[in-house]
Amino acid sequence: CPSPAELRPLNGTRLCALLYADNSPYYEQCCAGDVLEVLPGADLPYLPSGWAGRASSLVVGTRCELTVWSRRAKEGKSRRFGA
């Protein structure tokens, strides 16, 4: 997985978080598969098509916080992740 300070795509724009579709009990195989990029300040009450219940690994950038909810439209229990 990239370190929190390394969250920059090829064009150099800062990212707040990366969500990955694949995970593994072996660290070197985590953070694989499809990737969802979350920009700073993004507000996503609904995940893009195909991502609901799919994210299994994540990395949150420095000076960012990612809040996720257990139900759609920011309903249910929430949890916050930081770098």
Question: What pTM was estimated for this model as a whole?
Answer: 0.82
State the Cα–Cα distance between residues 39 and 35, nearest whole angstrom: 13
Task: Report the residue count for the chain.
Answer: 83
Host H or E run for residue 59: strand 57-60
The string of DSSP letters for the chain reads ---GGG---TT----SEEEEEE--SSGGG-SEEEEEEE-TT---SSPPTT-TTT--EEEE-TT-EEEEEEEGGGEEEEEEEE-
20-70 pLDDT, tens per residue? 988 777 777 788 889 999 999 999 888 888 888 888 889 999 889 999 998
